[in-house]
């Protein structure tokens, strides 16, 4: 297991309530423990879920599906947390769209066809990520910034479509910015 899974798990659990069983009014997941929501896991006894069991579920359903073991740090942690918070497809799409903003993930060199923003992290997304990051720290900072901007835009759309969700915005934004600090990004832009 990649070391960054443990780091990602610790960070995400700070925002998901850890081992506390809780039900937040308005949260579509219903009763949750270790970030595992009963509504989305009807065959799991969430109330009696151990941390180890939760890690196995989370690793299988989020980390592995996003191929985080194949992504470089800190992109793996960023994609993982978005996937855990919003779904695997969104975490992957945010990465793909962020790569496009840097001029990557446009045309598949093997067949000349455009890459599709499909929410699936496959060889194309992995290769384009590695190429983008090989170009230096400026690309990494831009990629991280673009990723988090896609995340924040998603939250805004979610609230626009379901105004009752506005009560979660402060926590969502705090989580987004805390994640940047967690992975060592203190500022996203050049000083004025």
Token reading at 90:
């969104």
Q: How many domains does the chain have?
A: 1
- Would the pTM of this model clear 0.85, i.e. be above it? yes
| Angle formed by the axes of helices 169-182 and 137-161, nearest 10° | 170
pLDDT < 70: residue spans in the chain: 1, 187-192
Token reading at 79:
């994609």
DSSP state of 32: E
Provide φ and ψ at 110, rounded to 5°.
Answer: -70, -35
Domain assignment present for 71 = yes
pLDDT of residue 109: 79
Domain assignment present for 21 = yes
How distant, in Å, are the alpha carbons of 5, 12, 55, 155 from that of 22? 24, 16, 18, 22
Q: What share of the chain is helix, strand, coil (3-state, %, to 5)?
A: 60, 5, 35
Domain assignment present for 188 = no
Domain assignment present for 187 = no
Domain assignment present for 54 = yes
Domain assignment present for 40 = yes
Domain assignment present for 190 = no
Domain assignment present for 192 = no
The domain containing residue 63 runs over which residues? 3-182
Residues in the chain, overall count: 192
Alpha helices in 17-74 (DSSP H): 51-58
Contacts 24+ apart (CB under 8 A), 51-54: 51/19
pLDDT of residue 188: 57
Cα separation of 79 and 66, whole Å?
7
Domain of 35: which CATH number? Answer: 1.20.141.10
């Amino acid at each position: 297991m990649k070391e960054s899974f443990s780091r990602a798990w610790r960070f995400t659990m700070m925002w998901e309530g850890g081992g506390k069983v809780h039900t937040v009014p308005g949260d579509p997941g219903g009763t949750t423990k270790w970030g595992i929501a009963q509504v989305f896991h009807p065959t799991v006894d969430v109330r009696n879920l151990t941390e180890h069991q939760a890690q196995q579920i989370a690793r299988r359903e989020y980390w592995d599906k996003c191929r985080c073991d194949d992504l470089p740090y800190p992109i793996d942690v960023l994609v993982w947390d978005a996937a855990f918070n919003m779904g695997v497809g969104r975490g992957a799409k945010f990465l793909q769209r962020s790569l496009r903003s840097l001029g990557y993930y446009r045309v598949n060199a093997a067949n000349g066809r455009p890459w599709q923003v499909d929410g699936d992290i496959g060889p194309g997304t992995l290769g384009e990520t590695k190429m983008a990051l090989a170009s230096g720290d400026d690309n990494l900072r831009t990629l991280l910034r673009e990723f988090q901007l896609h995340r924040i835009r998603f939250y805004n759309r979610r609230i626009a479509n379901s105004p009752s969700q506005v009560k979660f915005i402060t926590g969502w934004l705090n989580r987004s910015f805390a994640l940047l600090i967690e992975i060592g990004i203190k500022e996203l832009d050049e000083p004025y």
